[in-house]
Amino acid sequence: MRQPPWMHALHQQIADAGPALIIASSTTRLWQWLRAVKPPVIVIGSQLWEQKEQGVLAPLILRPASFIRSLREKDSLPGTVIVLQDQLNGSGPSFIPWQDGSRELMLSAIDFLLFQRFRPPVFRICAAHPGRLTLQAIDMTLPAFQPDRFPVYADTVYPAFMDEISIPLPDWEAEHTFACKNPAQLQILLSDEMRLLECVLRESLLRQDDALHRSLLQALQLRQTGIMQRTSATNGT
């Protein structure tokens, strides 16, 4: 099947950029480009695309922790890296809070760490134009730029990305995962998952009342209490 001209153009743009750090949103267009062109890039993402269509893109996709481990003793990026920040959710030291207007988001630190360590050129894949993708350079040489401060990095890299996904993009596939970057939404999701697991354990106890199932249920209930307390603190209640 013949590829549309924009796919070849994007491939050439990324090849010319050399080993670079690229921020992108998880659009169907990007998925189709990765599948059709099979470019020599590393994609930092999650199971959202690892498992899509029987894992056809799984060989391209790495989790942040796995990629960081692969960089030991490396002096430069091993190739161009596309970071799908909208797929990356979690908490802890590998996620950093960033204020986007009136909302707080927990952003994966992966691209910030890569920029700090290797100082590659930084680009974003623009999806604002219907039916195509283009590569846009991000100016990382601002006079007052302080690369070791995450808020300055994020304020430089992410505003255009946030504006774009707020349009919203008609083929954006990560809307639900991105919503969980808000700490309150993430806690709600975890709470829902805990309640579902509690139902499963209670059903198991009805069939087989033993010490293992009882201890699992008690541990789960303690975890639920902690999540509810954090959610209340986040909401200010």
Other beta carbons within 10 Å of 190: 18
Q: What is the pLDDT of residue 231?
A: 47
| Closest residue by Cα to residue 23 from 181, 156, 201, 183 | 156
Measure the CA–CA gap between 116 and 119, rounded to whole angstroms.
6
Q: What is the model's pTM?
A: 0.78
Query: Residues 40-55, buried b or exposed e (16+ Cβ, 10 A)?
Result: ebbbbbbebbbeeeee
Cis check for the bond before 168: say yes or no (omega within 30 of 0).
yes
Q: Which residues of the chain have pLDDT under 70?
A: 1, 142-148, 183-237
* Residue 220 confidence (pLDDT): 56
pLDDT digits (tens, 9 = 90+) for 60-115: 999 999 999 999 889 999 999 999 999 998 878 899 999 988 888 999 999 999 99
Output the pLDDT for position 68: 93
Q: Residue 60 half-sphere exposure, CB side, CA atoms within 13 Å?
A: 25
